[in-house]
Amino acid sequence: MENIVALCKRRGFLFQSSEIYGGLNGFWDYGPLGVLLKRNVKDAWWNDMVMSHNELVIPGGAPGTYEMTGLDCTIIMHPQIWKCSGHYDLFHDFMVDCRETKKRYRYDHILGRWVLAASPATRVFVTTLETENTQSALEEAALKFFGLRKKDLDKLQWEGEIMSLPDVMRVASDTAKILAPDAKTPGTLTEPREFNLMFKTTLGALGTEEDTAFLRPETAQGIFANFKNVCDSTRLRVPFGIAQVGKSFRNEITPRNFTFRSREFEQMEIEFFCHPSQSAQWYAYWRDRRFAWYIKMGLAGERLQLREHGATELSHYSCGTADIEYQFPFLPPGEFGELEGIAHRGDFDLRSHMEGKLVKQGNELVLEKLPNGQPKHRGSGKDLTYYDDLTKERFTPHVIEPSAGADRATLAFLCEAYQVDTAPDEKGQPQERVYLKLHPRLAPIKAAVFPLVKKDGMPEIATEIYGELKQQFSVFYDDKSAVGRRYRRQDEIGTPFCITVDGQTVQDGTVTIRDRDTLEQERVHRNDLVQELTQRLG
Ligand code: GAP
């Protein structure tokens, strides 16, 4: 992972936000190449899900035809939206503070184990944040605490298995013996406290409590709030999907793992509205369709998995959820991180925005009420049901929600693409080569154009070719240093093709196209380059 992070910084994919002031935890800037890569991820998603969708044909695996459209909603919306959606009351994480180090941790992210040292005979619960090798991190913490050296490892007596902090803190009498990560004395952790993940902001100049608004923690609610507008302003018929790509904000307690858990990030969400009788089939369709998309874009292999949630894991509104997960290199072996969730949300969202905040009572969703019988959070009172004029049926559509993170997908594509092999240099000597095997649709630069040397008419032809290709593709011109080094620089940023103008070009107009992955070079006439690249880029 360190190599990938270093490459991202060195070649301008990702920078820490506000780096010159020491950075800001949980915020990341995309550099000159990163902005192209992430835009390509979002464009590929938008194009494959929305623009190229043919509503006249039943796609493979779908129960019927459907339509797709899009929205671009505001980040700040009416605060009542978050009260009815459940985010205001339920979108919490538990956190603990260390009184000694002043560090704050997500309660469920701390892992530890009871350990006893023969001399002095003290028993303590040493902790760490989850790492690739949790046990060795715990050993290090225990040795430090007991003032022992590495060779004294056998003086430590471990008790029981590695446990999470919530499991240990449930036993109240033991909390004084918990040693916080990085602390010197045990018993410095506070009780867990709830922490709402929504960022607050103030509207207008007065700044009273009534002027409080929130930065959206998901793009989904803008779609639900506009469901009626879309139905009234278009001729879309259920089933149809509304897609949105945009920023979301969550005041994550422990942002970490590069961009994986950020406080400002982008989502690519679809809310798919269908008849309740067909929702199970549509759920299966979207689950499989989204999984296949990641494979098509290059995340093949055992590092990608589809995981169906068990009944206890389901959200308060969901009758079925699956996660598409990727084995990021920063996770412990065998662990996967979520790329996208596909949720069957039933009629929870539309009903919430009609009636008010709902809660589950038995198998029913009912309006949550205050002791005085008034709704806890009032809905809009607007009719968000759908009338099917063919069947003459009025119903509240069910929603299937494929919700992806653009930053997590970009990070997964980067991690998967990072490759090291051996390739001969100009003198034929084998050299280690780092390259990004990005899908050509995702690669920031599609082709680089080089004159072999800076003389004999080659730069003039190369600049002409560059100008022609630039009309259609993201291309890069380079005439600095030896051609072998120029190839390496392009390999390292994932450029799939390098076009070189050489002595023969001056004679017959042909150039070489070098393939990043196979290193094969073919001669192509310069007049055929646009067609050749279009074909090769897919
Ligand atoms: N509307 C449903 C929803 O927002 P979620 O599982 O909370 O569901 C969906 O988020 C996706 O958004 C996640 O699968 C992940 O890719 C991305 N995401 C969520 N929190 C994130 C964070 N703090 N940083 C980066 N991406 C995040």
Query: How do residues 139-164 score in pLDDT, each as one tens digit?
Result: 999 999 999 999 989 999 999 999 99
pLDDT at 102: 82
CB 138 within 8 A of CB 88: no
Of 168 and 341, the one with more pLDDT = 341
For 282-306, what is each residue's pLDDT tens digit? 999 999 999 999 999 999 889 999 9
Q: Taking residues 27-50, what's their average pLDDT?
A: 98
Q: How confident is the model at residue 173 (pLDDT cuts 50, 70, 90)?
A: low
Give residue 259 CA to ligand 1 midpoint distance, Å. 12
- The pLDDT value recorded for residue 429 is 84
When pLDDT is cut at 50, 70 and 90, the band that residue 120 belongs to is: low
Q: What is the mean pLDDT of residues 519-525?
A: 95
For residue 371, the SS3 value is coil
How close is the Cα of 150 to the center of ligand 1, in Å? 41
| Residue 405 contacts residue 340 (beta carbons within 8 Å) | yes
pLDDT of residue 381: 96
* Of residues 252, 259, 284, 274, the one with CA closest to residue 105: 252
Query: DSSP alpha helices (H): ranges in 272-369?
Result: 279-296, 348-355
346 beta partners: 399
Q: What is the pLDDT of residue 95?
A: 84
Give the CA distances from residue 488 to residues 230, 430, 492, 516, 519, in Å, rounded to whole numbers and listed in that order: 49, 13, 6, 9, 11
Least confident of 45-54, 198-207, 442-451: 198-207
Q: What is the whole-number distance in angstroms between the Cα of residue 405 and the centre of ligand 1?
A: 6
Q: How many Å lie between the centroid of ligand 1 and the Cα of residue 321?
A: 14
User: What does the pLDDT read at residue 119?
Assistant: 65
Place of tokens 């991180």: 337
Strands 14-16 and 510-515: unpaired
Distance (Å) from CA 217 to ligand 1 centroid: 9
pLDDT for residue 362: 82
Helices (H), 297-399: 348-355
Q: With bands split at pLDDT 50, 70 and 90, how would you rate the model's confidence at 38?
A: very high
Q: What 3 state SS string does 53-112 have?
A: CCCCCCCCCCCCCCEEEECCCCCECCHHHHHHHCHHHHCEEEEEEECCCCCEEEHHHEEE
Which band of pLDDT confidence, cut at 50, 70 and 90, is reported for residue 170?
A: confident
The alpha carbon of 255 and the centre of ligand 1 are apart by a number of angstroms equal to 13
Residue bearing the CA closest to ligand 1, atom 19: 405
| The predicted structure's pLDDT at residue 172 | 56
Residue 170 tokens, joined: 């449930």
Amino acid at 277: S
Q: Mean pLDDT across the stretch 100-105?
A: 87
Expressed in angstroms and rounded, the spacing between residue 401 Cα and the centre of ligand 1 is 12
Does residue 153 sit in helix, strand or coil? helix
- For residue 62, pLDDT beyond 90: yes
Per-residue pLDDT, averaged over 231-244, amounts to 97
Ligand 1 midpoint to CA 282 (Å)? 21
- pLDDT tens string 186-201: 999 988 887 889 999 9
Rounded distance, CA 442 to CA 411, Å? 12
Average pLDDT over residues 362-377: 91
Ligand 1 pocket list (CB less than 6 A) = 218, 220, 250, 252, 261-262, 265, 267, 269, 338-341, 401, 403-405, 407-408
Tell me if residue 365 falls in helix, strand or coil.
strand
Nearest to 6 by CA among 254, 258, 255, 256: 258
Candidate of 265, 291, 314, 342 to mutate for ligand 1, largest count of ligand atoms within 8 Å of Cβ: 265
- Model pLDDT for residues 39-61, shown as the tens digit of each residue: 999 999 999 999 999 999 999 99
427 pLDDT above the threshold of 80: no
Distance 403 CA to ligand 1 centre (A): 7
Which distant-in-sequence residues (6+ apart) come within 8 Å of 398 by Cβ? 273, 274, 275, 276, 279, 282, 344, 345, 346, 347
| pLDDT band, very low/low/confident/very high, at 214 (cuts 50, 70, 90) | very high
Shortest-distance atom of ligand 1 to CA 250: 23
Which two structure tokens, joined as six digits, stand for 141? Answer: 């913490």
Residue nearest to atom 14 of ligand 1 (CA): 340
Give the mutation target among 403, 410, 411 for probing the ligand 1 site: most ligand atoms within 8 A of CB: 403
pLDDT over 90 (residue 22)? yes
Which of 59-68, 182-191, 317-326 reaches the highest mean pLDDT? 59-68
143 compared with 423, residue with greater pLDDT: 143
Contact 474, 35 (CB under 8 A): no
Q: Is the pLDDT of residue 243 over 70?
A: yes
Ligand 1, atom 7, lies closest to the CA of 218
Q: How far apart are CA 431 and CA 149, in angstroms?
A: 40
**Do residues 336 and 64 touch, judged by C-beta distance below 8 A?**
no
170 sits in the region (left: phi over 0; alpha: psi -120 to 50; else beta) called: alpha
Q: Which of 321, 408, 411, 413 to mutate to test the pocket of ligand 1 (most atoms within 8 A of CB)?
A: 408
At 106, the pLDDT band (50, 70, 90 cuts) reads: confident
Among residues 409, 271, 396, 415, the alpha carbon closest in space to that of 343 is found at: 271
Band the pLDDT of 317: cuts 50, 70, 90: low
Which residue from 218, 270, 352 has its CB within 8 A of the most atoms of ligand 1, so it is best to mutate? 218
Q: How far is the CA of 33 from the centre of ligand 1 (A)?
A: 24
What is residue 428's predicted lDDT score, i.e. its pLDDT?
Answer: 78
Give dist(CA 66, CA 75) in Å, integer: 28
CA dihedral 527, 530, 536, 538 (to 10 degrees): -150
The pLDDT of residue 117 is above 90: no
Could you give the C-alpha distances from 452 to 100, 315, 391, in angstroms and in order?
62, 59, 68
Give nearest CA residue, ligand 1 atom 26. 405
The preferred substitution site among 109, 338, 344 for testing ligand 1, maximizing ligand atoms within 8 Å of CB, is: 338
Q: What is the pLDDT of residue 513?
A: 97
* Closest residue by CA, ligand 1 atom 21: 261
Average confidence (pLDDT) over 7-18:
96
Residue type, 482: A
Mean pLDDT of the chain: 93
